[in-house]
Amino acid sequence: MPIRPLATLFAMKRGKLLPLPPRLARLYGSLRMPRTLTHPHVFSNFVSTLDGVVSLNVKGHASGGDISGWNAQDRMVMGLLRAIADVVVIGSGTLGADREHVWTAEAIFPELADDYRRLRETLGKDDAPLNVVVSGSGELDLRLPVFASGKVPALIVTTSAGAQRLRKHAVPDSLAIRAIAGESATIPAQAILDEVLRVSSGKMILVEGGPRLLGDFYAQRLIDELFLTLAPQIAGREANDRRLSLVMGRAFAPGEGPWGSLRDVRRGSSHLFLRYSFAASRTEAS
């Protein structure tokens, strides 16, 4: 079935209107991003069930496709956000859920590959976005497509011990490895962002998970915007369930949790596509 356009229910007219190719403009509508970037603009994209589950965390069913119902409009939006990104950041768990993937627009929605490429060219982004994988242990297979295919430039941010482990193997030419000094196996979100900015001059940073990585970014107040697809599914949880919510590994005290401002609501059949802004002082979005 042909993909249907999203219906815009609410959209704030703030920021710069991006020059979407005609087919993307018809499917998504208008897309605005900050006019002036004095800091990197860090935005995330997730799909969630109505009861807040973002991953069933079951082998073979851990990706967002099981949450969205493999919704074409959700994949179209994922591709659009990757098309405007200079960098896509994921954790090792996200990589483990989709080992053959590369984090590009055309990989998630091949039917619109030409439109995504045209948009990137218009925005002056000739290369694929830098794919960043965060792994404290460094226990990664460097033969996976994200590292070895040459389709994307790749960066692994890891610990000193993780870097030593990785460098025992053949490192592809398209891959860089950066080690964060310290004894902890947990890498602070600010340290990840600092390493990304040493490798990439781009300021549009897309975080696609997982929930623990996103939680660290929220804890350090580094997320500027959240694009959230709300799928009309109830996943449920059992006691001590391993199913994941949007943020894991972080619990904010009363009154200390990040509050978002609703910027955009779109509808695709029974799916809602929401956009929230956070930490508005970090960027100039007017």
Chunked into runs of 10 residues, the chain (286 residues) has average pLDDT values of: 92 95 98 88 97 90 91 98 98 93 97 97 94 96 97 97 95 95 84 96 94 94 97 91 89 92 97 90 42
Q: Please say whether the beta carbons of 67 and 97 come within 8 A.
A: no
pLDDT at 239: 79
Other beta carbons within 10 Å of 265: 16
pLDDT in tens, 236-250: 988 788 889 999 989
Structure tokens at 35: 């006019």
Per cent of the chain over pLDDT 70 is: 97
Farthest CA pair distance, the chain: 53
Other beta carbons within 10 Å of 199: 16
Token match 């493999």: residue?
Answer: 70
CA nearest neighbour of 93 among 195, 178, 186, 212: 212
pLDDT at 280: 52
Going along the chain from its start, the domains and CATH numbers come out as 39-54+65-235+261-278 (3.40.430.10)
CA nearest neighbour of 262 among 270, 273, 254: 273
CA nearest neighbour of 157 among 100, 89, 248, 86: 89
DSSP, collapsed to helix, strand or coil, labels residue 60 as: coil
Other beta carbons within 10 Å of 173: 8
pLDDT at 185: 73
d(C-alpha 227, C-alpha 37), whole Å: 19
pLDDT at 214: 95
